[in-house]
Amino acid sequence: MFFDPMYLLFIAPAMLLAFWAQMRIRSTYAQAQQIAAPLSGAAAARHILDSAGLQFVGIEEVPGHLSDHYDPRDKVLRLSSEVYRSRSLAAVGIAAHESGHAIQDALNYLPLTVRNAAVPLANFGSGFGIIMAVIGAMMSFQPLVLIGIGLFSCVVFFQVVNLPVEFDASARAKAQLVSLGIVEHDEMHYVNKVLNAAALTYVAATLQAILTLLWLVMRFGGNRD
């Protein structure tokens, strides 16, 4: 199988950032979990959604750790059991963030619309972009290389568009938590730490995609064997 050690050097900064972000999430989440909130994650999400006129958006409990997400197709918030049931600042912060995505969807927030439209190509490019570029290079068939690079460019596009989507959802979450009285202003720094650490994971993923694309272009983009 093909392996280029230079690839690891290319993506090393992103890997280090991702590792640090995961460490930050664990520590900030554990800290915020110890601070009580007046509502559970599910109740906080329901309050935020209802206040935004989104009574039709459902909330479901799903298995997994931090598997929380908003499904725009079914119009439902899916919260992990830990977030769904827990009455902690960590739980309401994450639930509020996912509620922010539902609000974006209802408002036809353009970056979210673009991101959702890019999902199929990004998934395909993530799975086959690098493979096609490498196979094309091994066969000395440059058109296949360029197709592979083009497909992986869809991954980079998705990640770049995803950043404002995630940042905006967190901003909406923070504003709603305070305005609705779910979290006291002097306790918001715990929520901020959790959501800011989560944001770093998206930054790391975007950086890794960009560096991988750069490696593909430099390694295989030229007409050379």
Q: Which residues are catalytically annotated?
A: 98
35 within 8 A of 193, measured Cβ to Cβ = no
- 45 Cβ contact partners less than 8 Å away, ≥ 6 residues apart: 59, 77, 79, 95, 96, 98, 99
Element at 59 (helix H, strand E): strand 58-62
Torsion sign, CA atoms 52, 98, 11, 121 = negative
| Residue type at 64 in one-letter notation | G
Q: How many CA atoms lie within 13 A of 211 on its CB side?
A: 17
Q: Which two tokens stand for residue 48?
A: 């935020």
CB within 8 Å of 207: residues ≥ 6 apart: 13, 14, 17
What are the structure tokens assigned to 96, written together?
């509020």
